[in-house]
Amino acid sequence: MPLKSRDLAIQAAKAALQKKALDVTILDLSGLTVIADYFVICSGESTTQVKAVAEFLEQEFAKKRIRPLGIEGAAHSHWILLDYGDVIIHVFEKETRAYYNLEKLWMDAKVVEIDEDKIDMAGKDKRAIHP
CA distances from 131 to 7, 108, 111, 113, 114 (A): 12, 16, 8, 7, 9
- Write the pLDDT tens digit of every residue in 47-80: 999 999 999 999 999 999 999 999 999 999 999 9
Nearest one of 112, 104, 106, 68 to 87, comparing CA atoms: 68
Q: What is the pTM (predicted TM-score) of this model?
A: 0.86
What local confidence, expressed as pLDDT, does residue 131 receive?
A: 45
Q: Residue 114 — very low, low, confident or very high, per pLDDT cuts 50/70/90?
A: confident
What local confidence, expressed as pLDDT, does residue 119 receive?
A: 52
- Write the pLDDT tens digit of every residue in 74-86: 999 999 999 999 9
